[in-house]
Chains A and B, each alone.
Chain A
């Protein structure tokens, strides 16, 4: 069974204090790993897609990396507006030949001014 584990569950940072969020996964037939941001009361908002080990993507203060077992979301010099829950999801082919999406439980990030 596909599994996605995110750590830490919650993270509190001072503004400007860089850190990393982890997403470890166990899946066969990975088709893509996705990072989303979710604000309270809203649906997840797409950030990045990574398809193969060694791939990296960047957007403003965020950088996502991928290995064969885990992905990191690096946050450089965060600002209070970066406060949100960050979700990781993997998409893979299941035994029936259909693609399936599995989300982690998320990391709740709070950035203090």
Chain B
């Protein structure tokens, strides 16, 4: 079946511009995560959705970052007034919520490489 897809695969923008990054999770996966990964680092947690609501947004670095998932499927990560330090690969993952307090594995998309000039 289809995996997690992310668009665009690459985005180059200028400092101060607004960008939107899209994630299409695996059908039926209720949990959706956004991460940011810099070169040589592990993925850094940004936000987690369970259904339509943001269950944990504690990883968002500041109020320039915002994410939505209005219908509980596709999610959009929005970055306002981009800065050069925002350059990274933005990864999206989805999973099924497990039972008995456990969590299932996450399936990752290929990522969007964001470059802020």
Q: Which residues of A contact B (CB under 8 A)?
A: 4, 6, 31-32, 34, 36, 41-46, 49, 51, 87, 89, 91, 94, 96, 98-106
Contact = CB atoms under 8 A, between A and B. Distances in A.
A32 B48 contact: no
Interface residues of B, number: 27
Contacts, number: 70
Contact of A105 (B41, B104, B111): B41
B101 interface: yes
Interface in B35-68: 35, 40-45, 48, 55-56, 58-59
Interface SS majority for chain A: strand
B115 to A, nearest CB: 14
B65 to A, nearest CB: 17
Contacts of B93: 43-44
A100 B42 contact: no
